[in-house]
């Protein structure tokens, strides 16, 4: 049996502004599949992705940029590990954008981002991204409003540049509730092997939960105008649902490109390897 998640219900439409307080953090109630069935389907999708990535690499025509954003403990690292691990790292890079360094702050905020866009044939995954430069910056007043407000236009224009020039963009927000975050952060404090993942500053962001939800919603609504760079708000408290939804969105995108291995520039029958 094939399980196909209706991923379109998670896609942000610029016509229907999203409200993160009412967006799902768990699978839709009518979605009834066992954990085991979801994992089986994920394995199938994972094999398909491995093949599609090789095809993309061989053809070297398309590039794919995948953006992950989430509140702390939202599952970015886990998602990236599950989805991207089977992919040949020669065709995939993961970038982790932490707070900008002094050197980076000497240039515009998209400078460090633009450097790492994927070359043709490859995937790049952003673990956090330029969206921090509107969301985190606005919530924490790291820059005045007249500065960060212009950034929505910059970001839309930057993503339009990339898609016009052959890069496909998929953006995922891993959505969890504040209660669920409490549970996951507590786990990091309780387990010594998870201590390294805790940072007391996570609690500062937690105290601004509603502000973050509002800032993220504004970013998603404003930066979903480019249909080749959609935002998806993925219910992320159920890991199997989360992983399957995301890999199905990626695979559907890649399948829609109708990729072919490039025709050889030589006549294979004319060569004999001694």
Query: Using CB under 8 A as the criterion, which residues of the chain lie in contact with a copy of itself when the complex forms?
Result: 60, 103, 106-111, 114-115, 117-121, 147, 150, 153-154, 157-158, 160-162, 164-167
Closest CA to 68 of 214, 218, 217, 173: 173
Least separation in angstroms between residue 49's CB and a copy of itself is 22
Q: Which is nearer to a copy of itself, 65 or 247 (by Cβ)?
A: 65
112 near 104, Cβ under 8 Å? yes
Strands 123-127 and 167-175, sheet pairing? unpaired
DSSP state of 237: S
Closest CA to 72 of 113, 12, 132: 132
Q: Which is nearer to a copy of itself, 47 or 114 (by Cβ)?
A: 114
Q: Which is nearer to a copy of itself, 101 or 270 (by Cβ)?
A: 101
Neighbouring residues of 273: CB distance < 8 A, sequence distance ≥ 6: none
Hey, is 93 helix, strand or coil? strand
Q: Which is nearer to a copy of itself, 50 or 60 (by Cβ)?
A: 60
Least separation in angstroms between residue 116's CB and a copy of itself is 10
Least separation in angstroms between residue 111's CB and a copy of itself is 6
């Amino acid at each position: 049996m094939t399980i196909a998640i209706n991923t379109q219900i998670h896609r942000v439409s610029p016509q229907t502004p999203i409200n993160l307080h009412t967006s799902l953090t768990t699978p839709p109630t009518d979605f009834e599949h066992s954990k085991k069935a979801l994992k089986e389907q994920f394995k199938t999708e994972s094999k398909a992705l491995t093949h599609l990535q090789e095809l993309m690499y061989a053809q070297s025509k398309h590039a794919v940029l995948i953006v992950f954003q989430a509140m702390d403990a939202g599952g970015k690292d886990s998602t990236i590990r599950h989805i991207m691990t089977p992919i040949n790292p020669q065709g995939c890079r993961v970038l982790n954008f932490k707070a900008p360094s002094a050197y980076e702050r000497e240039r515009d905020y998209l400078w460090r981002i633009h450097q790492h866009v994927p070359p043709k044939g490859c995937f790049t995954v952003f673990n956090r991204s330029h969206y921090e430069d509107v969301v985190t910056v606005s919530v924490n007043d790291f820059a005045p409003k007249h500065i960060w407000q212009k950034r929505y236009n910059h970001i839309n224009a930057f993503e339009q540049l990339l898609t016009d020039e052959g890069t496909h963009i998929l953006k995922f927000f891993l959505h969890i509730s504040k209660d669920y975050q409490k549970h996951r952060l507590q786990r990091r404090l309780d387990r010594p092997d998870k201590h390294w993942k805790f940072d007391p500053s996570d609690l500062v962001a937690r105290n601004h939960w509603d502000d973050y939800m509002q800032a993220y919603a504004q970013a998603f609504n404003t930066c979903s105008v480019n249909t080749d760079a959609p935002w998806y708000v993925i219910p992320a408290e159920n890991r199997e649902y989360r992983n399957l939804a995301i890999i199905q969105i990626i695979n559907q995108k890649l399948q829609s490109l109708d990729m072919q291995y490039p025709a050889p520039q030589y006549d294979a029958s004319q060569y004999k390897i001694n």
